[in-house]
Amino acid sequence: MQKFAEEIRSHLTGRLIPFWEGLTDEQYGGFYGYMGYDLKTDPTYEKGCILNSRILWFFSNAYLLLGEEHLKIYAEHAYRFLREHCLDQEYGGVYWSVAHDGQVCDSTKHTYNQAFAIYALSSYYDAVKDAHALKLAQDLQALIEEKCRDSQGYLEAFNRSFEPEENDKLSENGVIAEKTMNTLLHVFEAYTELYRVSRDAKTAERLRGMLDIIAEKVYNPELGRQEVFFDKEWNPLIDLYSYGHDIEAAWLIDRGLEVLGDPVYTQKLSPITAEITDHIYDRALAGNSLLNEAENGVQDPTRVWWVQAEAVVGFVNGWQKNPREKRYLEAAEAVWEYIKAHLIDPREGSEWFWAVDENGKPLEKPIVEPWKCPYHNGRMCMEVIRRLGN
């Protein structure tokens, strides 16, 4: 375990952190929004606000973990760009994207995007104790609760002035969903982090409400998995098993239960997260890596970067919950070996490939773009170091 954690620490400090530091845009602020498979950075590409929030989260947590002052400087750089360019000063909320120079590019307001800003701002507040950052996070939470809720949970897609629109940005596989497991999970994740740093009672109640939805609407006990895309009333729209989201949800829900500290909800949800982890091990672990998903029972064998990163954390978490389950720790270490062999790009000046096919051949997809960020693999590193490094 010590060797495992040390290898991952070395990867974080020697590869991931320097790579993302190198994408700093000193002229317009924030970080460059695109690097192609050819490793050419496009300084004029739009800057996704989710990408900027995730970079803010990454450097804030790297500073919290490692205590190196230069990491705080990069976190402050990301924070300034979010505060000055990603936030809508007229209607409130965070835009979907801005142009390279900070002008509004896509003014869509999505609940998912608001959640990641809350997540990042809460961690940044923890890192530097900037009270304004915490207030921004709380203001965004209030906006979600006012504009993005209905009687059964969280709606997702809105225009700039928070009028509902089609949820094409978080829908896939040929359906348009009004609610998604993915957005709910990341609102839960964001509120967990906000509650951790604020201990606000209303946030705790919202966490309990989301746990109820997960247990009663999202989790399918007959199939032992989460459903993915829903209508307004949480009726599933498609037969889709998202392996990466399930193993990610297992440990994020467990983290939320730990932070919330409510034994009633721990008793209600912990068996579900244990079952999710067990089923992912049995159904999705193929050799030493995780399959992507299964639609209508048909497996997608693509090995996607974020799915493998979440598998490492999810299996470590499963072992920590039940140390007798050494298969989970062995699986985490095996997936890390797969990542080293196939997903970490050996080319100088790169990071991880987006995905590889079932034979380990890289898909020629961008190294950086609005969804390709240091959130999953960086968080994997930090979670392993925190959990196993001492």
Q: Is the dihedral of CA 380, 211, 318, 279 positive or negative?
A: negative
Nearest Cα to Cα of residue 244 among 376, 385, 55, 52:
376
pLDDT over 80 (residue 62): yes
Report how far apart the first and last C-alpha atoms of the chain are (Å, whole number). Answer: 10
Phi, psi of 68 (to 5 degrees): -90, 125
What pLDDT is attached to residue 326? 97
Structural domains in the chain?
2-383 (1.50.10.10)
Q: Report long-range pairs for 258-265 (Cβ below 8 Å, ≥24 apart).
A: 259/192, 259/195, 259/196, 260/192, 260/195, 260/204, 260/207, 260/208, 262/204, 262/208, 265/208, 265/211
* DSSP strands (E only) in 191-345: 219-220, 225-226, 229-230, 240-242, 285-286, 289-290, 293-295, 298-300, 303-304
Mean pLDDT (the chain, rounded): 97
Beta strand pairing status for 104-106 and 289-290?
unpaired
Other beta carbons within 10 angstroms of residue 146's beta carbon come to 10
pLDDT over 70 (residue 131): yes
What pLDDT is attached to residue 105? 98
Q: Which amino acid is at 63?
A: Y
pLDDT over 70 (residue 110): yes
| Predicted confidence (pLDDT) per residue in 246-260, tens digit | 999 999 999 999 999
| Predicted confidence (pLDDT) per residue in 281-340, tens digit | 999 999 899 999 999 999 999 999 999 999 999 999 999 999 999 999 999 999 999 999
| Predicted confidence (pLDDT) per residue in 94-103, tens digit | 999 999 999 9
- pLDDT grade, residue 2 (50/70/90)? confident
Beta strand pairing status for 293-295 and 240-242?
antiparallel
28: three-class secondary structure by DSSP:
coil
Helix (H) or strand (E) holding 122, with range, is: helix 111-128
| Predicted confidence (pLDDT) per residue in 155-210, tens digit | 999 999 999 999 999 999 999 999 999 999 999 999 999 999 999 999 999 999 99
- pLDDT grade, residue 389 (50/70/90)? confident
Q: Is 274 exposed, middle or buried (0-12, 13-18, 19+ CB in 10 A)?
A: middle
